[in-house]
Amino acid sequence: MAEDLTINNGTKQEQYESVAQQISALMQGEHDLIANLANAAAALKTQFGWLWVGFYLVKNNELVLGPFQGPVACTRIAKGRGVCGKAWELAQTLLVEDVNQFPGHIACSSLSQSEIVIPLIKNGEVWGVLDVDSEQLSFFDEIDQKYLEDIVAAISY
Ligand code: SME
């Protein structure tokens, strides 16, 4: 079956509505977590062209690199470390306008300037995070937060 993503060129909201609907359709009837995370990362990267977008999954009390799109990245992150480890520890979304000002930021790529990390939560437990990086300062806002939180809420395992 052909799986083509239709790129939307409208407002940011329209782009998110479009890609969220397509991610949902791609996950329909597919219960393999890695397959769904891989397609979600690919769809988001294709629509938005961010520097890096991907998932880290909690394994043996650390975050381990999962499906992603972009430059190679660090493979393991301890709880509380960097933006990802902090979002995990706090179980809340972190929107970082300038990663160079974030204490303990882990620079996987020196090109990354701003970042948003959304925890994936099931039954009150964080089981992973979605991490998005941009080459521009202050790139992400509440619109990104709202739609990315909705997209990860639709991902289950
Ligand atoms: N910058 C992240 C690490 C992951 S990479 O950006 C892909 C952090 O500080 O947690």
Average pLDDT, the chain: 95
String of DSSP letters for 33-93: HHHHHHHHHHHHHHHH--SEEEEEEEETTEEEEEEEESS---SEEETTSHHHHHHHHHTS-
CA of 105 from ligand 1 middle (Å) equals 7
What's the confidence (pLDDT) of residue 2?
A: 59
Determine if ligand 1 sits within 6 Å of the CB of residue 65.
no
Q: Which of 77, 84, 93, 105 to mutate to test the pocket of ligand 1 (most atoms within 8 A of CB)?
A: 84
Cβ of 50 closer than 6 Å to ligand 1, yes or no, is no
| Contact call for residues 117 and 151 (beta carbons, < 8 A) | no
pLDDT in tens, 107-127: 988 999 999 999 999 999 999
Q: Which residue has the tokens 């996987």?
A: 108
Q: By the 8 A CB rule, do 42 and 69 touch?
A: yes
Report all structural domains of the chain as residue ranges with CATH numbers, in order of start.
12-153 (3.30.450.40)
Give the residues of the chain that fall short of pLDDT 50: 1
**Percent of the chain predicted with pLDDT > 90:** 92
